[in-house]
Amino acid sequence: MTPSTPPDLPASALPWPHLPFEAWKDTCATLHLWTQIVGKIRATQTPWVNHSWHVTLYVAARGLTTSPIPYGGRTFQIDFDFIDHRLLIRTDDGASRTIDLKPRSVADFYRELFGHLSDLGLEIQIHPVPNELVDVIPFQEDTVHAAYDPEYAHRFWHALVQADRVFKRFRSGFIGKCSPVHFFWGSFDLAVTRFSGRPAPEHPGGVPNCPDWVTREAYSHEVSSCGFWPGSEAMPYPLFYAYAYPEPAGFSARRVRPEQAGYDANLREFILPYGLVRQAPDPDRMLLQFLQDSYEGAADLGGWDRPGLERTGFPFPPAVG
């Protein structure tokens, strides 16, 4: 496990764990699907919030949490604990159930989770098919994905902790409409999104196993968005990303620090490998530069009302020249 850090260390000295995708890709795939099941429970029980903000998970002190979910007059919550490696289901009447996080199939996880929910008097139904993935298997039938390495699950969560706190620092400089820093289980990434306040052209859709109307509502207004993503078979390394929708002319040619960051024409995003950040002398500073420069590119080229959207006199980012 990643060792605890003395509280007197400055923020930029906190440990950023090594997270080579190849070492935990099977665990990553299984965990992605487990979070989809839990996220769909939150989604089906929670009133709709614009841009699907009601479906997300959040980084917590021990893992990921749904936050409180309504069930009639009751409330419950589901948490992934990546320290003791448990899934906890807790209700407002004091009842609870626990599932061990260990090598087990998605089908087994699904059955046990819904069995516990039923025992707690929580009769919930979800659409039992993954979203935003190609070649999906219904959860109840998925015996293919069954890996769980606790060391790498812990490392992934710890990387999320680091990204979450820097994203929140970045978010604090913006007074316009802005999303929370939240974890999207569909795409399996941590994200925060700023809005110009103006409507955007209709999004073309086309996200695998996701209704086009969901994507179009998510991108109904102009955005500058950034996030952290653990990687995939096609791009096998964790990275930070930043993009604009709609993308203004000249955005791809914008200078974004650090110099190792670049624009990916296929993704239509600026990307910064996580490994560069974690090995930098000051990871916070490097990441904040990337976030700020990519936002300024979107805002300046897109004609955003920056004086009206940003905190007056806010020294952001500190000591970045």
CB count in 10 Å sphere of residue 22: 10
What letter represents residue 148's amino acid? Y
For the stretch 144-184, pLDDT in tens is: 999 999 999 999 999 999 999 999 999 999 999 999 999 99
Percent of the chain with pLDDT over 90: 92
pLDDT for residue 15 is more than 50: yes
pLDDT for residue 312 is more than 70: yes
pLDDT for residue 102 is more than 80: yes
pLDDT for residue 252 is more than 60: yes
Tell me the pLDDT band of 14, cut-offs 50, 70 and 90.
low
What letter represents residue 164's amino acid? D
Least confident of 15-29, 39-53, 106-120, 302-316: 302-316
The whole-number pLDDT of residue 233 equals 93
pLDDT for residue 6 is more than 80: no
Q: Which two tokens stand for residue 144?
A: 């293919």
The whole-number pLDDT of residue 10 equals 44
Give the pLDDT mean for 200-226: 96
The whole-number pLDDT of residue 313 equals 63
The whole-number pLDDT of residue 314 equals 58
Helices 21-45 and 150-171: angle between axes, nearest 10 degrees: 60
Distances (CA, A) of 223 to 119, 277, 294: 43, 24, 12
Give the pLDDT mean for 273-280: 97
DSSP codes, 131-178? SS-SS---GGG--S-----HHHHHHHHHHHHHHHHHHHHHHTTB-SSB
Mean pLDDT of all residues in the chain?
93
Percent of the chain with pLDDT over 70: 93
Predicted TM-score (pTM) of this structure: 0.93
The whole-number pLDDT of residue 11 equals 41
Least confident of 13-27, 79-93, 240-254, 303-317: 303-317
pLDDT for residue 257 is more than 60: yes
Beta strands in 66-146 (DSSP E): 69-71, 74-81, 86-91, 96-100
Beta strands in the chain (DSSP E): 58-59, 63-65, 69-71, 74-81, 86-91, 96-100, 182-184, 189-199, 221-229, 239-245, 262-264, 269-273
pLDDT for residue 9 is more than 70: no
Distance, CA of 60 to chain centre:
12
Work out the burial of residue 225: count CB atoms within 10 Å of its CB; fewer than 13 is exposed, 13-18 middle, 19 or more buried.
buried
pLDDT for residue 259 is more than 70: yes
Decide: helix, strand or coil at residue 292. helix
pLDDT for residue 315 is more than 60: no
